[in-house]
Amino acid sequence: MTLNSRFNAAVLSLSILMLVGCTTVGPDYVPPDDSWLQALETSVYGESVTLVPESDGAGAQWWQQFNDPVLNALIEEARIENPGLRIAGLRVLEARALAAAAGSALYPQVQTVGANAAYAKRSSGPGESGFSRWDAGFTLGWELDFWGRFQRGIESADAAYFASLANQRDAQVLLAAAVADIYWQYRVTEGRIVILNKNATLQSRSYDITKQMFEAGQQSELDLQQARTQYLATLAVLPALEQGLGQLANALSALLGRAPGELEGRLSGQTASRAVLPTNHQVQLTALPAALIQRRPDVRASLWAVAAQSAQIGLAEAEYYPSIAIGGSLGWSGNSLASQDSSGLLGVGPAVSWTVFDWGRIANNIRIQDARLQQALEVYRNTVLNAAREINDASLALDKTEEQRVLLAQTVVASERALEIANTRYREGYADFQRVLDAQRVVFTQADRKLQNDGQHLRALVAIYKALGGGWSPDAMHEMLPSSVLLEMQERSNWGELQSLQVGDEQAPPNQPVPIEVESK
């Protein structure tokens, strides 16, 4: 058979195998049954959440409704500097590289180029003589995706990439909620210190008055010691509040990637005005609970994890079948001898490898992957259930703290009026000093309770937006990571276009695969 006829036969065999090799083994991805979610009614939101014809869904930047420029600046800075969010962005980049590596399996996998040369010299006899010899060769091996093993690997890698993208968006949700939650705790603690100092000033005046009256013989020592006890007890609370304030500032610094103490200057100032917190907010949404839960980034990540693991079963099952590859080699050799001609070699043909006896290894690997798929399904269901619980818990807290806000506002007014009456009756001699001390204590306690409840109301509002999955944006890669980090990685390892390609539509259903642009070399 001539060289051309051999080459034609090899090409024909390759074409037939590629046409036949269109089988993909293993189960196709089937979305989990979420029909039970439709049973969730709007009552899961509570009274503080209303459905309106138009809104922005779960609130892309819900923190802006507080009209607090300090909070807005803190969250924006955290989205740039937070180490955890950067790590999530780097995992997206890593997953993209893994997807690109999985896609390269569709192309020839074995490529070898070799060359050598030699020169021989003979110096014995009447004269010197020598000759040279050289060889060059190229081999190529291409395993065909006859059973869809590589395709399943690509499906799994793509799904894992979108899971990493959803995890990055979930990190945005958690970060915004954490910054807002700690910020309101800081403001509440700051306001409690204002109330405590105000009450301590009032008690200090009462203590000075009783001391003067005791020294003048107009009061008993009991009134003096009671006034002193209450004043000192109030002051004793201050160190714990200041400690908590510093620790909250440190927690915010950590979220912003800063050293402890760097934020104190930005957070302090205008302390008296901070004692009054924004209240009586109402969440307005258009979607029902089921729809919002299904759009939560952590739920999406769990769903993509199910899709990624589903493809792993096909990968394991493909080991049952033979591996079919096309191999070829091209060589050329020559020398300087006139009596010998140069020669070339071309060889092309199929190669088959098949694990016939595996002693149950393949079957058990399939079972392992199936068990992992079931685990992923259970994780998804648990994530959905926790999402529904978090929404209901947050809306319940929002309702009840609003009810308490109304009642506590009335108790503060009543306690202040009671203190005014107690002071008047004490000056007129109709009541003893204990009534004044009791009234002062009640004013401080009720004002403190009201402020703490206002803070709990704000934290419940943050929690409901967190539970609804709000607070993320579809960042591009250059928005997930600073340009300095991307440039450093590009200089260290050539990333090609992987840093600049579009991230893709993670919100598409996993059962409708979304192709992602990757670079394969």
CA distance 323 to 356: 12
CA distance 109 to 139: 11
Classified as helix, coil or strand, 197 is: helix
Q: Taking a C-beta distance cutoff of 8 angstroms, is the pair 344, 331 a contact? A: yes
Identify each DSSP E strand in 46-128 by its residue range: 49-51, 110-122
Residues in the chain: 521
Q: Taking a C-beta distance cutoff of 8 angstroms, is the pair 513, 155 a contact? A: yes
Cα 107 vs. chain centroid, distance in angstroms?
A: 34
**pLDDT score for 458:** 92
> Cβ atoms within 10 A of the Cβ of 211, count?
15
Q: What would the 3-class secondary structure string for 197-234 be?
A: HHHHHHHHHHHHHHHHHHHCCCCCHHHHHHHHHHHHHH
The pLDDT tens digits along the chain (521 residues) read: 454 554 455 444 545 444 444 578 888 888 888 777 777 665 555 666 666 555 444 557 889 888 889 999 999 999 999 999 999 999 999 998 888 888 877 777 666 666 666 555 655 555 556 667 767 766 776 777 778 788 888 888 899 999 999 999 999 999 999 999 999 999 999 999 999 998 888 888 887 888 887 877 777 788 788 888 888 988 999 999 999 999 999 999 999 999 888 887 778 754 444 556 776 666 766 666 677 888 899 999 999 999 999 999 988 888 888 877 777 677 677 666 655 566 666 666 677 777 777 788 889 989 999 999 999 999 999 999 899 889 888 888 988 988 898 899 999 999 989 988 988 887 777 777 788 888 888 888 999 999 999 999 999 999 999 998 888 888 888 888 888 898 999 889 888 888 887 887 776 667 654 545 544 33
Burial of 337 (0-12, 13-18, 19+ CB in 10 A): exposed
Classified as helix, coil or strand, 111 is: strand
Token output for 278: 């924004």
**pLDDT score for 520:** 38
CA distance 198 to 446: 14
CA distance 513 to 159: 8
Sheet holding 110-122, edge to edge: 110-122, 129-143, 323-335, 343-353
Q: Taking a C-beta distance cutoff of 8 angstroms, is the pair 176, 450 a contact? A: no
Domains parsed from the chain with CATH numbers:
32-107+146-325+361-492 (1.20.1600.10)
**pLDDT score for 129:** 61
Dihedral sign of CA atoms 381, 387, 388, 390 in order: positive
**pLDDT score for 113:** 61
Q: Taking a C-beta distance cutoff of 8 angstroms, is the pair 481, 86 a contact? A: yes
Dihedral sign of CA atoms 374, 375, 380, 385 in order: positive
Given the structure tokens 């989205």, which residue do they identify?
79
